[in-house]
Amino acid sequence: MGLPKTDIVKVITQEAVNEISDIAYEEKHEKGAVLFREGDSAKYFYILVEGKVLLTVGEAATSRYEVTQPGESFGWSSAVGRDFYSGTAECLVPTTVLKLDKLDLERVFDKHPRSGKVFYRLLAEALGQRWIDL
């Protein structure tokens, strides 16, 4: 399965891209499907293939962000060492995502440390921008 053309995929090694593609599972979800809830165990990292996902934080969902761009990632808690998701992800329309197990992703980056460094730097930049957007 190929990964969407994102900034991350453009700058990590092709070998790492291939290994990430090998561990990614494509999932299709209907409108209203909840991919994870705030407080759930953070086991997976997601990449949007198509559709739209609403991310909310807090019981009143006062912080909201829509994942709309193919290749945009979410479920970051799994990739940054948190045990639980800090928000909820709900599909606003029929949606397709790539789902990556955090332990499998860690193994890829243990094997390809330069690619891991670039991945986490770009992830930090995206997280910072998302907070600004909120």
DSSP string, 7-30: HHHHHS-HHHHHHHHHH-EEEEE-
Distance CA 101, CA 77 (A): 12
57, containing H or E segment: strand 53-57
In this prediction, residue 58 carries a pLDDT of 79
57-81 pLDDT, tens digit each:
877 667 888 999 998 889 988 888 8
Is the pLDDT at 128 greater than 80, yes or no? no
Q: pTM of the prediction?
A: 0.87
